[in-house]
């Protein structure tokens, strides 16, 4: 897969490129469009640009506000994983205020976040992503594959109850399929679990720096537990069904591993603090980062480069190049050195100043509101376009390689993650094992999501046991008081549902001087940076083979959509497609700030 942009001259003279655009792929942080040029003669995607046409400006309007409001404001960044922002903001504020959440409070946050992962991954996987793999879609795009699916027995039929692969695909059919409907029910139950812990979904009302406002009591945890046990059957079946369908795709469509494939460049910022180790002090961040229940890490070509959150933090660079912003290199830096004395780059989020410059979209120049976050690999000097693998893929990959997570329910082995789930309503005690796959591609990103639901369910059991143990010992403290300092810096590292999440905070005069949230979508949907390196969506789709049986006239682009959706670009529920047969039908420009700024 190409990592740098191909020039027009390199293309073959005989290529007949058809421009195709999917814009908007909606309900992500902003507005994602995928613009491609497809070479139907050779059945591959020749070129891809990912663009966002919406400016958010959180980093602009957060300045001057009371830092205690940050968690409540930044939660509004997203309508499905807002609580991840609140949590991450709480982490960053805890560091800036020099406080820590009491252990029982930390358990409550962990349980809330685990419920969020279970909720969000379920609704995304079964109600949105799997529409691309359902019987109706496969019938419309690859009828021969569906024929074969009808003849192929499902290897795990005894677990999920569907005899053939086509039966599973039918269960994925939107609005009618059994799995589709069950997933909606499960996402309701998991949302209830979330609300028990964090008060309200998706913008938590009981999450603050220094602790939680949730009242700890036995029924809080038993209500959560009974709901959790009620969904375990679904979780176990989902993993088996996912494995069956994805293995079938590899078998039925040889070469399908190339769909959405890119170099293994993964980032995971870690999730679920361990309250026994975590003190939120930057000086100890390497230690408490490694104690997290999903290990932070950067993986390059299958090798774990680091698990140190300090290294991860200092390596972050925000590049421009194809984004509608002015450079800030001439601005005053906010943080020249971190608390350990390491120099902090001007392109680091602590020092970033957002200077928007709205303009027309031009794929040869500037074409997106998304910046280009990259990670500086100090071994090679490369600026890596890390992706999150949709979240679970990077989380499982980094955790598996690091081998640090060792709990009664989840264990990282160095090459895999073993997840043990207890007996549930219909199915016996089950141990699942996610093994590091050969590729970083669409199917493996999707497969990891089902395993991570099981991971979250298993970790919830662990957090519940810990929380109830503390409560039995009489520990009821869930909040700590604090004062906002005149000056301070903080950084929070967490995993939003779809991948890495960091919040960087600078306080001056008890007000926010600089605040930069970096959610997963800027990493995944970033455009070409100043060095011409494409972002992960572009990289994964560019040069990708097309397996769809339809020609240009009734082309649905399902392979491209599977590749993009494998990254979980929030909720891609509304997809519009324009087919131009090589001609641009119409160009429209809508200036964000009105016609006078066109």
Partner 1 sequence: MGRIRVGKPHVKIDTPSHVRGIREGNAKRSMSRQIGHHKDHTADARRSTGIRPKKHDAILKIMPNLPPG
What does the alpha-carbon distance between residue 470 and residue 194 come to, in Å, rounded to a whole number?
A: 20
Q: Tell me how far, at minimum, the Cβ of 220 lies from partner 1, in Å.
A: 7
Q: Tell me how far, at minimum, the Cβ of 152 lies from partner 1, in Å.
A: 52
Give the Cα-Cα-Cα angle 103, 502, 446 (nearest 5 degrees): 95
Q: Tell me how far, at minimum, the Cβ of 483 lies from partner 1, in Å.
A: 6
SS3 assignment, position 125: helix
Name the phi and psi angles at 102, rounded to 5: -60, 155
Q: Which is nearer to partner 1, 585 or 595 (CB)?
A: 595
Give residues 210-249 in contact with partner 1 (rule: CB under 8 A).
Answer: 210, 215, 217-220
Under rule CB under 8 A, residue 476 binds partner 1: yes
3-state secondary structure 60-114: HHCCCCCHHHHHHHHHHHCCCCHHHHHHHHHHHHHHHHCCCCCHHHHHHHHHHHH
Q: Which is nearer to partner 1, 66 or 251 (CB)?
A: 66
String marking each residue 346-385 x if it binds partner 1 according to CB under 8 A = ---------xxxx---------------------------
What does the alpha-carbon distance between residue 59 and residue 319 come to, in Å, rounded to a whole number?
A: 16
Q: Tell me how far, at minimum, the Cβ of 469 lies from partner 1, in Å.
A: 11
- Determine contact, residues 46/38, Cβ cutoff 8 Å: yes
Please report, to the nearest 10 degrees, the dihedral formed by the alpha carbons of residues 76, 81, 87, 88 taken in order: -80
String marking each residue 491-520 x if it binds partner 1 according to CB under 8 A = --------------------x---------
Q: Tell me how far, at minimum, the Cβ of 110 lies from partner 1, in Å.
A: 18
Residue among 579, 577, 560, 557 at smallest CA distance from 569: 560
Q: Tell me how far, at minimum, the Cβ of 188 lies from partner 1, in Å.
A: 22
Q: Tell me how far, at minimum, the Cβ of 467 lies from partner 1, in Å.
A: 13
Q: Tell me how far, at minimum, the Cβ of 535 lies from partner 1, in Å.
A: 23
Q: At what angle do helices 558-565 and 442-472 cross, to 10 degrees?
A: 30
Q: Tell me how far, at minimum, the Cβ of 407 lies from partner 1, in Å.
A: 24
Q: In this chain, which of 474, 551, 583, 590 binds partner 1, going by CB under 8 A? A: 474
Q: Which is nearer to partner 1, 7 or 330 (CB)?
A: 330
Q: Tell me how far, at minimum, the Cβ of 464 lies from partner 1, in Å.
A: 16
- Determine contact, residues 260/447, Cβ cutoff 8 Å: no
Q: Which is nearer to partner 1, 216 or 557 (CB)?
A: 216
Give residues 279-308 in contact with partner 1 (rule: CB under 8 A).
Answer: none
Residue among 116, 88, 114, 228 at smallest CA distance from 459: 114
Residues 6+ apart with CB under 8 A from 98: 280, 281, 482, 485, 488
Q: In this chain, which of 247, 279, 326, 433 binds partner 1, going by CB under 8 A? A: 326
- Determine contact, residues 495/346, Cβ cutoff 8 Å: no
Q: Which is nearer to partner 1, 191 or 470 (CB)?
A: 470
Q: Which stretch binds partner 1 (CB under 8 A): 128-136, 299-307, 472-480, 543-551?
A: 472-480
Q: Which stretch binds partner 1 (CB under 8 A): 24-32, 132-140, 152-160, 473-481?
A: 473-481
Under rule CB under 8 A, residue 480 binds partner 1: yes
Q: In this chain, which of 481, 551, 553, 586 binds partner 1, going by CB under 8 A? A: 481
Q: Which stretch binds partner 1 (CB under 8 A): 257-265, 474-482, 539-547, 552-560?
A: 474-482
Q: Which is nearer to partner 1, 303 or 483 (CB)?
A: 483
Q: Tell me how far, at minimum, the Cβ of 197 lies from partner 1, in Å.
A: 13
- Alpha-carbon radius of gyration of the chain: 23
Residues 6+ apart with CB under 8 A from 104: 216, 467, 470, 471, 475, 476, 477, 478
Q: Which is nearer to partner 1, 90 or 544 (CB)?
A: 90
Q: Which is nearer to partner 1, 185 or 597 (CB)?
A: 597
Q: Which is nearer to partner 1, 191 or 196 (CB)?
A: 196
Q: In this chain, which of 22, 91, 133, 208 binds partner 1, going by CB under 8 A? A: 208
Q: Tell me how far, at minimum, the Cβ of 356 lies from partner 1, in Å.
A: 6
Q: Please state, in angstroms and as integers, the Cα–Cα distance from residue 371 to each residue in 262, 519, 525, following that order.
A: 20, 12, 9
Name the one residue in this structure whose structure tokens are 């793999």.
133
Q: Tell me how far, at minimum, the Cβ of 80 lies from partner 1, in Å.
A: 24
Under rule CB under 8 A, residue 595 binds partner 1: no
3-state secondary structure 395-420: HHHHHHHHCCCECCCEEECCCEEEEE
Q: Which is nearer to partner 1, 66 or 554 (CB)?
A: 66
- Determine contact, residues 307/404, Cβ cutoff 8 Å: yes
DSSP alpha helices (H): ranges in 347-441? 392-402
SS3 assignment, position 355: coil
Sheet strands side by side (includes 575-579): 44-52, 30-39, 17-28, 575-579
Give residues 58-87 in contact with partner 1 (rule: CB under 8 A).
Answer: 60-61, 63-66, 68-69
User: How many residues contact partner 1, by CB under 8 A?
Assistant: 38
Residue among 496, 492, 486 at smallest CA distance from 504: 492
Under rule CB under 8 A, residue 585 binds partner 1: no
Contact residues: partner 1, CB under 8 A = 60-61, 63-66, 68-69, 102, 208-210, 215, 217-220, 326, 355-358, 471-477, 479-484, 511, 593, 597
């Amino acid at each position: 897969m190409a990592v740098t942009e191909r020039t027009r001259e390199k293309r073959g003279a005989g290529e007949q490129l058809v421009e195709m655009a999917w814009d908007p792929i909606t309900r992500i942080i902003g507005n994602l469009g995928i613009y491609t040029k497809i070479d139907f003669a050779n059945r591959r995607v020749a070129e891809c640009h990912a663009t966002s046409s919406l400016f958010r400006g959180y980093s602009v309007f957060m300045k001057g506000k009371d830092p205690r409001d940050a968690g409540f404001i930044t939660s509004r960044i997203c309508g499905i994983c807002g609580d991840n922002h609140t949590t991450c903001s709480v982490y960053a504020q805890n560091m800036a205020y020099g406080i820590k959440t009491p252990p029982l409070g930390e358990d409550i946050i962990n349980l809330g976040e685990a419920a969020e992962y279970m909720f969000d991954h379920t609704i995304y996987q079964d109600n949105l992503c799997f529409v691309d793999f359902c019987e109706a879609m496969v019938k419309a795009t690859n009828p021969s594959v569906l024929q074969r699916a009808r003849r192929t027995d499902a290897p795990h039929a005894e677990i999920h109850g569907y005899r053939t692969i086509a039966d599973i695909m039918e269960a994925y059919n939107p609005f009618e399929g059994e799995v589709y409907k069950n997933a909606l029910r499960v996402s309701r139950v998991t949302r209830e679990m979330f609300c028990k812990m964090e008060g309200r979904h998706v913008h938590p009302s009981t999450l603050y720096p220094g602790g939680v406002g949730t009242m700890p009591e036995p029924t809080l945890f038993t209500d959560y537990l009974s709901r959790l046990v009620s969904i375990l059957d679904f979780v176990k079946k989902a993993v088996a069904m996912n494995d069956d369908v994805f293995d079938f795709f590899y078998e039925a469509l040889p070469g399908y591993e190339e769909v959405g494939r890119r170099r293994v460049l993964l980032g995971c910022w870690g999730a679920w603090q361990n309250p026994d180790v975590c003190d939120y002090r930057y000086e100890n961040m390497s230690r408490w980062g490694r104690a997290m229940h999903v290990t932070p890490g950067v993986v390059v070509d299958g090798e774990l480069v680091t698990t140190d959150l300090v290294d991860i933090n200092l390596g972050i660079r925000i590049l421009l190049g194809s984004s509608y912003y002015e450079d800030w290199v001439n601005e005053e830096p906010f943080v020249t050195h971190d608390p350990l004395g390491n120099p902090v780059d001007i392109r680091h989020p602590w020092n970033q100043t957002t200077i928007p410059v709205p303009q027309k979209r031009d794929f040869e120049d500037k074409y997106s509101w998304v910046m280009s976050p990259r990670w500086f690999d100090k071994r090679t000097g490369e600026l890596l376009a890390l992706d999150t693998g949709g979240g679970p893929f990077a989380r499982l990959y980094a955790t598996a390689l690091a081998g640090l997570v060792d709990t009664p329910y989840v264990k990282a082995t160095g090459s895999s993650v073993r997840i043990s789930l207890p007996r549930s309503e219909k199915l016996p005690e089950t141990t699942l094992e996610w093994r590091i796959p050969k590729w970083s591609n669409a199917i493996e990103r999707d497969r990891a999501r089902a395993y991570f639901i099981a991971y979250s369910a298993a970790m919830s059991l662990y957090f519940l046991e810990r929380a109830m143990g503390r409560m039995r010992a009489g520990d009821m403290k869930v909040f700590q008081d604090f004062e906002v300092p005149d000056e301070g810096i903080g950084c929070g590292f967490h995993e939003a549902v779809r991948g890495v999440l960091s919040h960087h905070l600078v306080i001056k005069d008890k007000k926010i001087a600089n605040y930069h949230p970096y959610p997963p979508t800027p990493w995944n949907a970033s455009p070409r940076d100043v060095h011409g390196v494409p972002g992960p969506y572009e990289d994964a789709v560019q040069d990708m083979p097309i397996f769809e049986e339809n020609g240009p006239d009734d082309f649905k682009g399902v392979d491209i959509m599977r590749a993009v959706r494998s990254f979980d670009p929030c909720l891609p529920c509304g997809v519009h497609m324009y087919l131009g047969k090589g001609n641009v039908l119409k160009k429209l420009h809508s200036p964000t700030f009105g016609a006078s700024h066109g």
